[in-house]
Amino acid sequence: MNEVNRNVLLEEITKAVFEELQKQQLITINDWKNKYVPISVSARHIHLEQEHVDILFGKGYQLTKYRDISQPGQYACNETVTIKGPRGMIENVRVLYPIRKQTQVEVAESDARRLGIHPPVRESGDLKGSAPITVIGPKGVVNLEEGCIIADRHIHMTPEDAKRFGVKNGQKVSVEISGPKGGIMHNVTIRVKDTYALDMHIDVDDANAFGLKGNEFGKIIP
């Protein structure tokens, strides 16, 4: 699904949910605009630096677009790699664009157990002292001494969104989830940038624990 279609779908879902909640007198329009965020489920993936693109796929190789993801200018690539740890390996790990300054592998805790590694829960880009891992491509192999993390739960938003929600960059909030397996997710990091699109990112383990598929909304609790 491209970004335009995803945004249209989210708008339709938002409208339908809001209308039903308003009908039941459970929420006002201000509650919705100032508290609720869309949720996306982020599967295991890898961000590559250019040197590692060359090693894994061949010198001068250019990554190719598979589909848009939630953040503007970013997309999933057609290219995939295999990641390997002491106990096992996982194939078909999707490469994401754009190119990074340092290669970063993001897995869920269940993936880590399967691989036999112990990655820390970190914000994206905070890789010092993170878990080692081997990355295997069609043309070569990269052995990372550090670079594998379990991504923290986080919400992307613009400065305008942050003002509306009453939060600031780097703040930790909780998010209430409705539904049969609903509950509260704690330690959710706010990330503010003018190029971001409003979206909460969680990994597959979190999604399974709360019964989420990635088309739901959560309520921010500052």
Q: Report d(CA 155, CA 38) in Å as an integer.
A: 9
Reduced to 3 states, what is the DSSP secondary structure of residue 34? helix
Question: What is the mean pLDDT, run by run of 10 residues, along the chain of 222 residues?
Answer: 57 61 54 82 98 98 96 96 98 98 98 98 97 98 98 98 96 95 97 96 98 93 85
Query: What per-residue confidence (pLDDT) applies to 222?
Result: 79
User: Domain spans of the chain?
Assistant: 3-41+153-221, 43-150
- Distance of CA 218 to CAs 76, 139, 142, 178, 180, Å? 24, 42, 38, 7, 14
Topology given in CATH for the domain delimited by 3-41+153-221 = Barwin-like endoglucanases (2.40.40)
Query: What per-residue confidence (pLDDT) applies to 141?
Result: 98
Q: Report d(CA 83, CA 133) in Å as an integer.
A: 7
Q: Report d(CA 149, CA 132) in Å as an integer.
A: 9
Query: What per-residue confidence (pLDDT) applies to 34?
Result: 75
Query: What per-residue confidence (pLDDT) applies to 20?
Result: 63
